[in-house]
Chain A
Amino acid sequence: MTEHVETNLWLVSTILGARTEVDKNLVKIQGIGL
């Protein structure tokens, strides 16, 4: 995983409250439905 992916996942989780999950190379993001 690149640093950009790691940073952005942290950011959307912290700022927007989106739930994120990484399993091996599969990334899942539960959007907030803005």
Chain B
Amino acid sequence: MRPQHLKALQALKQICHGSLDGAEIGSGEIWFQPGGGVEGGHYEWDIGTAGSTTLLAMTLLPAVCFSRGAISFKLSGGLFQDFAPSAYHMQYVLFPMLKGMGITAELKVIRPGYVPRGGGIIEVGVEPVGGKLKPINLPTQGKVTRIQGIALSSHLKERKVSQRMVEKCNEVLKSQGYRADIEIIHDDSALQRGAALALYAETSSGCIIGADRAGEPRRTSEEIGRSVAASLLEDLSTGATVDRYLADQLIFCAALADGVSQCRIPRL
């Protein structure tokens, strides 16, 4: 168990007044007993490393959407990194898709955070569902109606990192007849240098299919732009109605919903 996993369990225990045994860094087995329900309110948790804040938010989401009142939390840690959901994917893909299931959630990026220092901040607000979750029905992809995105870089304005990611990304998309409207953000608030590129495509059948990648030392802006565009095109080409990340994220809410949910996942 890593610090972000531990913090997620501790946060879950706190909001539902449950009990938790065996949870420590390195644990291979834990015991968790839920308590008597989740109250609304405001909470703050700091992972203390660059561990993923979105992973923490994902852990809490199935519980907090059934809370007795509106709930908000401020999370500190990492926002953009490999092997974890990116804050932009959660904000522009996951949360809008959950809206159709009756979950009203919003995310604000207060400060970007990257590996290794972390220090990023997100704020998440969730309204109580007030009933049962609705199933999600996404049998067909439809046509792409719009592609948008965000090219974020921190303390890298002079290297034109955001612009270079956008240029390469649109160059690859153009080869398949697409073009993305990508907002360029030059950030100076993060604790360190970093970058992230996110795309999200809307389709005529109500799908939102995303792709994203964070920066890494020796990973060029052009490589990020190329790989994000390629990831989106690959998922679209399979006829999928959810992207490779959303596919597993929707499963928990679908399993709690009242009815049959269906979606087409990318064949990878």
Binding site for B on A (CB under 8 A): 1-2, 4-5, 7-9, 12, 16, 18, 20, 24-34
Contact = CB atoms under 8 A, between A and B. Distances in A.
A30 B251 CA distance: 10
A27 B264 CA distance: 6
B135 A2 contact: no
Contacts of A4: 247-248
A1 B268 contact: yes
Judged by DSSP, the binding face of B is: loop
B265 A34 contact: no
Contacts of B258: 31, 33
B66 A8 contact: no
Contact of A28 (B244, B247, B252, B260): B260
B264 A8 contact: no
A25 B265 contact: yes
Contact of A26 (B132, B248, B262): B262
Given A2-B268, A25-B238, A27-B264, A33 B257 contact: yes
B252 A8 contact: yes
B207 to A, nearest CB: 14
Interface residues of B, number: 28
10 contacts: A2-B247, A2-B265, A12-B251, A18-B255, A26-B262, A27-B263, A28-B260, A31-B258, A33-B132, A34-B132
Contacts of A26: 139, 262-264
Interface in B129-150: 132-133, 135, 139
B41 interface: no
Contacts of A27: 247, 251, 262-265
B93 to A, nearest CB: 15
B263 A31 contact: no
Nearest to A9: B251
A13 to B, nearest CB: 8
A30 B135 CA distance: 9
Of B132, B240, B251, B259, chain A has the most CB atoms within 10 Å of the CB of B251
B205 to A, nearest CB: 14
B256 A16 contact: yes
B8 interface: no
A18 to B, nearest CB: 4
Contacts of A31: 133, 135, 254-261
B206 to A, nearest CB: 17
B266 interface: yes
A18 B251 CA distance: 10
Given A1-B265, A5-B248, A25-B266, A16 B255 contact: yes
Given A2-B244, A34-B132, A34-B133, A29 B251 contact: yes
Contacts of B255: 12, 16, 18, 20, 29, 31-32
B157 to A, nearest CB: 35
